[in-house]
A and B are shown apart, each in its own frame.
Chain A
């Protein structure tokens, strides 16, 4: 099993450009999450999907949108990137909410 996979690993964008971060899990988990991690700070929840067909805002949703494409895949879209969105983005999944989360390797995004 690959666990949680994310693409791309690295990305550089110019201000105003858009992009989609992809995430997939092969553990048959119901819940999926997108976090951002900034230096010296804890992970902050951007959006989550408690189950297939549902998505909800987390702590820092502004500037992002998500799509739960199917049970396996959960994508994060930046419509108009800003320098404040420079961060490391992690996707995670869990069997249901309130349980151990498994994390992907991360996407390191720089917005110039």
Chain B
């Protein structure tokens, strides 16, 4: 899951396995949630988003699940590939300018 601090949580998976990255968000009023991928030395890249009126959304090889009851968000990556190795972080927004970003989880994919 997410944490704030110098050492990011790390998830290590075998190539071809499914990955699940978790995020606990902070504001019950947040109604828009985004997952970003950040590769080393690059800017964050949008993966998938979900609004609070949904509990699941699927993209290409990725699925986001939202549980508003426990303020939990997860990102599932199917058939994880070496190119998926990166830091993944969730973000929450209440509809205005302020987006709160988590510190991220580092995903390692073993070939």
Contacts and interface: CB of A to CB of B under 8 A. Distances in A.
A complexed with B: yes
A41 B4 contact: yes
A21 interface: no
B interface, size bucket: 20 to 34
B4 A97 contact: no
B94 to A, nearest CB: 8
Contact of B7 (A40, A92, A98): A40
Contacts, number: 61
Q: Interface SS of chain B: helix, strand, loop or mixed?
A: loop
B97 A40 contact: no
Interface string B14-54: 00000000000000000010101000011111100100000
A103 B43 contact: yes
Interface of A: 4, 31, 33, 35, 39-43, 45, 48, 50, 56, 58, 90, 92, 97-106
Interface of B: 4-8, 32, 34, 36, 41-46, 49, 89, 93-104
